[in-house]
Structure 1
Amino acid sequence: MEPGQKGPVNYVHQDEIWKAHVKLEKDSADVWPRKWGVLTEAYREYQKESLKQAESVKKNQPENERSIQNSNAGSLPFPRTSQAVIGWRLAHSHLQLEKFGAVHHGRRSFLKELGWPLDSC
């Protein structure tokens, strides 16, 4: 008996259910290109257009902006992925935005200011 079931397991019935699921998946895969194949063509067109736009932006970008992007961090290479951009300057102290160190604010408690015990609320 499998956990969570009451009574014996009917393996033939389980097999029939599995066959029905597999048949449904196969039939859906056969029908999908007729119903939704237009989406793949639209995606290919979108991909071509975005590549054209990226190339035109790169060509039209002034030379001084390219040199700023290339030498943005001195000798450090700019991260290739957008995810790596987040926090890449934090690893180098000369590139950090906080020149005077981290801000340290003390935590204040409204209950302490009123002189009440901490378990009063």
Structure 2
Amino acid sequence: MEAPKSPAAVNYVHQDEIWKAHVKLEKDSADVWPRKWGFLTEEYRQYQEDSLKQAESGEKNQPEKETSVPNRKAGSLSFPPTSQAVIGWRSAHSHLQLEKFGAVHHGRRSFLKDLGWPLDSC
């Protein structure tokens, strides 16, 4: 029978160096954060103040519902009235299709046909 393998030797010095590198990276990141992202704290503070003002006044932050969608320009296509009609409504018009230069025609070629070999030769 084979003797059980001993666990790999632990290099405590190497593990300590890795830990020191992680701690240094965290410290450096904490020092740099206010310079790069400190503006977010002021934005958050303003947001909190605005939220408290709205809550005190009883206002609710609800988006206004739009009942109709106006046309973009005179003579442009009108927006479909239902959500079902939205799907593919632009592709019905030839001047709005994505393929502006026609369909893609890439021929399929065969290396064996180019050489004149039978298809079952490989």
Shorter-chain TM-score range: 0.3 to 0.5
Larger radius of gyration: 2
TM-score, normalised via structure 2 length: 0.42
